[in-house]
C-alpha cells in the first residue's frame, strides 16, 4: 500500500497500459481519476477500480484541449481536494508513413496529444501541486524519442519533446517540491503495439531485436511508474527511466523494413 491516501490522475486510462497504471495504483491504495475521451469507457474502468476498495472518478476530456484539461483538473480537485500524482499516459500514433508523405493534419494530431497535451496537463496539475506543497508527475515517453524509428517521425519528435519538457519542469518546479520524471518504454505487448502481436513476421522481427528476446509486459512498466510515484524515488528528479530490455545498445531495424519484408514473403 505504498500509495495509500494519495490521489492519482492518469490520462488515457480507459484501456491499454493506461488502464494497467490505474489498476496498479489502486492496488497500492491510491484513489484514481480515470480519463479518456469516451466517458462511458472511463466510467466502466472507474467502477472496476472502486471494486478494489478505493475511490475513483471518471472524467471525459481531450488532453489536447485547454478547456477540457482545466475542467478535468477542477473537477478532480473539487471531488478529492488535491492531486498528488499525475501520469501523462495519453498518446496517439495513428499512422506509419515516410516523412515525405506526412500531411500537416497528421503532424498536428500527434503533436497536439503527445506533446501539447502533456504540457497542458502538467501546467494545470502543477499549479494545484504548488498550492498543496508538492507532488509527483510521471510523463510517458518512448525509446522512439531517443533512437528514432522509420515511419514514426511525428511520434518520435513528440516523445523526444516529452523528455526535454520533463527535464525543464523538474528544474523549474523543484522549489515547489514537485518531482517530474519520465518513463521511456521499448516494445511493450499492449496498447499501440497490439496490432503487431497478431502478425507473426512483425512480432518475430521485433522480438529478435530485443536482447532479452521478448517484448515487455505492461506490468513491468507499471512497476516503474509505481516506483516513481512512491516515496522510494524521493531523490529522483528530471530523469527518464528507460525500460526496453536492452534495445538502447543499438539501432533496430525499422518497422517499415519489417512490413516490406512481410509483404515480400506474402507475395512469394
Catalytic residue at 176? Answer: no
Least Cα distance to 225 among 2, 21, 1, 7 occurs for 21
Q: Do residues 82 and 7 lie in contact, with contact meaning Cβ atoms separated by under 8 Å?
A: yes
What's the confidence (pLDDT) of residue 203? 74
What CATH number does residue 85 fall under? 3.40.50.720
What's the confidence (pLDDT) of residue 149? 85
Alpha-carbon distance of 142 to 180, in angstroms, equals: 16
Alpha-carbon distance of 149 to 251, in angstroms, equals: 9
Residue 76 lies in a domain: yes
pLDDT in tens, 219-238: 999 999 999 999 999 999 99
Alpha-carbon distance of 240 to 168, in angstroms, equals: 12
Q: Do residues 182 and 239 lie in contact, with contact meaning Cβ atoms separated by under 8 Å?
A: yes
Residue spans of the chain under pLDDT 50: none
Q: Do residues 22 and 251 lie in contact, with contact meaning Cβ atoms separated by under 8 Å?
A: no
Residue 130 lies in a domain: yes
Residue 261 lies in a domain: no
Residue 197 lies in a domain: no
What's the confidence (pLDDT) of residue 189? 82
Alpha-carbon distance of 6 to 83, in angstroms, equals: 8
Alpha-carbon distance of 171 to 82, in angstroms, equals: 22
Planar angle of CA 6, 8, 11, nearest 5 degrees: 180
What's the confidence (pLDDT) of residue 193? 66
What's the confidence (pLDDT) of residue 173? 98
Q: Do residues 61 and 87 lie in contact, with contact meaning Cβ atoms separated by under 8 Å?
A: no
Cell digits for 157?
519528435
pLDDT in tens, 25-80: 999 999 999 999 999 999 999 999 999 999 999 999 999 999 999 999 999 999 99
Residue 143 lies in a domain: yes
Alpha-carbon distance of 31 to 18, in angstroms, equals: 15
Catalytic residue among 155, 171, 235, 250: 155
Residues 6+ apart with CB under 8 A from 207: 213, 214, 215
What's the confidence (pLDDT) of residue 264? 74
Alpha-carbon dihedral of residues 187, 34, 114, 142, nearest 10 degrees? -20
The enclosing H or E element of 61 equals none
Residue 119 lies in a domain: yes
Per the structure, the complete domain to which residue 114 belongs is given by 7-191+215-250
Number of structural domains in the chain? 1
Residue 93 lies in a domain: yes
Residue 47 lies in a domain: yes
Amino acid at each position: 500500500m505504498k500509495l495509500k491516501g494519495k490521489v492519482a490522475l492518469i490520462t488515457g486510462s480507459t484501456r491499454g497500459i493506461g488502464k494497467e497504471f490505474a489498476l496498479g495504483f489502486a492496488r497500492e491504495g491510491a484513489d484514481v481519476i480515470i480519463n479518456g475521451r469516451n466517458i462511458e469507457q472511463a466510467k466502466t474502468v472507474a467502477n472496476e477500480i472502486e471494486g478494489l476498495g478505493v475511490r475513483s472518478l471518471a472524467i471525459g476530456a481531450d488532453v489536447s484541449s485547454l478547456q477540457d484539461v482545466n475542467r478535468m483538473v477542477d473537477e478532480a480537485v473539487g471531488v478529492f481536494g488535491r492531486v498528488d500524482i499525475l501520469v501523462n499516459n495519453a498518446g496517439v500514433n495513428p499512422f506509419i508513413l515516410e516523412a515525405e508523405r506526412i500531411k500537416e493534419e497528421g503532424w498536428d494530431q500527434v503533436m497536439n496529444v503527445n506533446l501539447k497535451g502533456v504540457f497542458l496537463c502538467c501546467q494545470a496539475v502543477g499549479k494545484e501541486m504548488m498550492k498543496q506543497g508538492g507532488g509527483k508527475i510521471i510523463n510517458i515517453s518512448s525509446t522512439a524519442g531517443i533512437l528514432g524509428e522509420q515511419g514514426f517521425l511525428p511520434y518520435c519528435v513528440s516523445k523526444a519533446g516529452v523528455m526535454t519538457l520533463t527535464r525543464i519542469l523538474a528544474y523549474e518546479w523543484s522549489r515547489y517540491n514537485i518531482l517530474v520524471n519520465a518513463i521511456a518504454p521499448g516494445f511493450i505487448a499492449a496498447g499501440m503495439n497490439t496490432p503487431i502481436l497478431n502478425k507473426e513476421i512483425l512480432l518475430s522481427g521485433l522480438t529478435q531485436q530485443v536482447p532479452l528476446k521478448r517484448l515487455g509486459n505492461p506490468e513491468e512498466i507499471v512497476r516503474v511508474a509505481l516506483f516513481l510515484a512512491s516515496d522510494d524515488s524521493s531523490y529522483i528528479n528530471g530523469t527518464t527511466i528507460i525500460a526496453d530490455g536492452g534495445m538502447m545498445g543499438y539501432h533496430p531495424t525499422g518497422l517499415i523494413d519489417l512490413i516490406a519484408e512481410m509483404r515480400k514473403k506474402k507475395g512469394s
